[in-house]
């Protein structure tokens, strides 16, 4: 018989991104695995509703959905822009959910090719930009003073590629931003 689990302990101990991965459907068939998935789903659902635990991410996901609706029709930019890809929106939402709790949320924008742009801007000479399209490939580029570059990483839908997190960290340090406004 399952034992009661503290939702606060679950979120703090596992971390939201890890718990969210457990909540996703999987291939496990045992009754115990199904119970773990159901409990994890319940905890994630409660956390999603909590302003203190999920406020910044919930706000970013709301902005993402509003952006997708605004740019969901062909020609949304007044010329020949493609509508934002539904797969890109789903991938971007999974990406936002997978970001570490202490990572600042990016600025969001739609690209004319149907992709989404997530940008972390430290200053006019310190920018990390990520493009999310309909595949699991994340194209990213950065400018850090005279240092600049670009690359591609794969996103499995649950864990942010370390190269991407390192890139964001180099532009906007976030190790000490563990407190959130309620």
Of 16, 25, 12, residue with least CA distance to 45: 16
* pLDDT tens for the chain, residues 1 to 182: 555 544 444 444 445 555 555 556 665 667 776 776 676 656 555 555 544 445 789 999 999 999 999 999 999 999 999 999 999 999 999 999 999 988 999 999 999 999 999 999 999 999 999 999 999 999 999 999 999 999 999 999 999 999 999 999 999 987 544 444 44
Cα(109)–Cα(171) distance, integer angstroms: 19
Phi-psi region of 15 (alpha: psi -120 to 50; beta: other; left: phi over 0): left
pLDDT at 46: 53
Q: Show the domain range for 74.
A: 50-171
Q: How many domains would you assign to the chain?
A: 1
Residue 11's pLDDT is 44
Provide DSSP, 86-152: HHHHHHHHHHHHHS-TTSPPPEEEE-TTS-EEEEEEEETTEEEEEEE-SSSEEEEEEEETTEEEEEE
Is 19 part of a structural domain of the chain? no
The answer to whether residue 15 is domain-embedded is no
Say what the pLDDT of residue 175 is. 56
pLDDT of residue 53: 47
The answer as to whether 28 is a domain residue is: no
Is residue 71, in this structure, part of any structural domain at all? yes
Q: For position 30, what pLDDT does the model report? A: 75
Domain membership of residue 145 (yes or no) is yes
pLDDT of residue 51: 44
| pLDDT for the residue 42 | 61
């Amino acid at each position: 018989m399952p034992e009661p689990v503290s939702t606060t302990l679950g979120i703090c101990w596992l971390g939201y991104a890890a718990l969210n991965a457990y909540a996703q459907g999987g291939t496990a068939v045992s009754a115990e695995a199904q119970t773990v998935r159901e409990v994890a789903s319940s905890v994630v659902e409660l956390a999603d509703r909590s302003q203190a635990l999920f406020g910044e991410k919930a706000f970013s996901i709301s902005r993402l959905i509003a952006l997708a609706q605004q740019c969901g029709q062909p020609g949304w930019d007044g010329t020949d822009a493609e509508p934002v890809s539904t797969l890109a929106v789903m991938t971007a939402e999974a990406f936002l959910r997978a970001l570490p709790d202490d990572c600042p949320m990016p600025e969001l924008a739609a690209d004319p090719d149907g992709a989404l742009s997530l940008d972390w801007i430290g200053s006019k000479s310190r920018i990390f930009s990520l493009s999310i399209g309909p595949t699991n490939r994340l194209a990213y580029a950065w400018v850090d003073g005279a240092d600049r570059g670009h690359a591609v990483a794969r996103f499995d839908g649950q864990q942010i590629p370390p190269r991407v997190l390192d890139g964001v960290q180099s532009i906007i340090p976030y190790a000490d931003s563990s407190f959130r406004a309620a």
